[in-house]
Amino acid sequence: MFFIIWGKKTVYRNLGFVADFCPMCREPRAFALRRVGSAGHVYYVSFGEGALVGHERTCSACSTTFAADPAGYAAVSKERLPLPELKRRTFPSLDQVLADRLALEARARANPALLSPDERRALIRGPFLFLSPKVEKRFASTHLDKEIGFALLAAVALLFVGPAAVRRLPPAIEGPALAVLILSALGLVVWQFAVSGRRFMRRQVLPVLAQSLRPLRPTEVELQAVLSELQQHGHKIGKRIRVGELLPLVGRDVGRPGQRLPLPASTNE
């Protein structure tokens, strides 16, 4: 029987670079601008850029992606320029258009304790909401990372080589040994699938989130309040983050935005 695999897939087209404000980095950054389309595919090969779905911009520093409107920029640069030049070409009025937000971030950096409760709550909640779609997408389906791939290879190798070794054992223990071998190979793969979600959060979410929150110096109570609110509204990020993991990272000297953070020594994969 012959099957044809076809359907729709998301297609991206790089448009260039623009300057804009990154609410995760809390300052202007260079962004890669992309067109997002939905195109038909046959055996996952698509032709053309498909129907327009929207546009997105990805921060060059923290790699967070936001919705974008190309019409809001004076131009789109085909090459990534130094930020001052990129801003002059693509968003020359950035400082004026975003004056209020830039002033708020300046006050937050100078003394976050002087922000009003509403300002603090909004600035702390924001990074969680911006990262929420990324978390929702990750946990909406099964994903394979390199550790799972290595586990699958190891399991195949174990099942390929192991039976030959088991056959050399005394008949009385050959059967139990083979069962242990199979269960070990299966357990290795299942274990890696089970911990892959935590691995994703620690590698791709917690570092960016901690970097964004650090200037605000949030308390454990403030972080827990935001996570509880997100859980109540059905955001997976509220359930997947533990204050005990995040708070130590927020308090560290984490370097430049987008830099991977060291993890607590007590955290296991």
Question: Collapsing DSSP states into helix, strand and coil, what is residue 26?
Answer: coil
Q: How far apart are CA 209 and CA 166, in angstroms?
A: 49
Task: Let me know whether 152 and 244 are in one domain.
Answer: yes
Judge if 12 and 101 occupy the same domain.
yes
What pLDDT band is residue 44 in, cutting at 50, 70 and 90? low
Instruction: Clarify whether residues 154 and 228 are in a common domain.
Output: yes
Whether 161 and 209 map to the same domain: the answer is yes
pLDDT band at 210 (very low <50, low <70, confident <90, very high): very high
pTM value?
0.76
Name which residue leads in pLDDT, 191 or 128. Answer: 128
Q: Scanning the structure block, which residue is given the tokens 């038909």?
A: 40
Which residue range is the domain that position 161 belongs to? 139-250
Same-domain status, 161 and 60: no
The pair of three-digit structure tokens given for residue 31, joined into one six-digit string: 């962004």
Asked if the structure places residue 41 within a domain, the reply is yes
pLDDT tier at 166, thresholds 50, 70, 90: confident
Domain assignment of residue 255, yes or no = no
pLDDT at position 20 over 90: yes
Are 86 and 174 found together in one domain?
no
Looking at the structure, do residues 92 and 37 belong to the same domain, yes or no? yes
Q: Indicate the DSSP class of residue 65.
A: E
Residue 134 belongs to some domain of the structure: no
Separation in Å, CA 165 to CA 151, 160, 169, 174, 247: 20, 10, 7, 10, 49
Whether 89 and 152 share a structural domain? no
Average pLDDT, the chain: 85
What pLDDT does 96 receive?
96
pLDDT value of position 128:
97
Work out the pLDDT band at 257, boundaries 50, 70, 90: very low
Instruction: Kindly state whether residue 268 falls inside one of the protein's structural domains.
Output: no
The total domain count for the chain is 2
Is pLDDT above 60 for 6? Answer: no
Confidence category of residue 145, pLDDT binned at 50, 70, 90: confident
Q: Are residues 64 and 17 in the same domain?
A: yes
Whether residue 170 lies inside any domain: the answer is: yes
The answer on 234 and 165 residing in a single domain is: yes
- What's the confidence (pLDDT) of residue 263? 37
Mean pLDDT of 34-49: 69
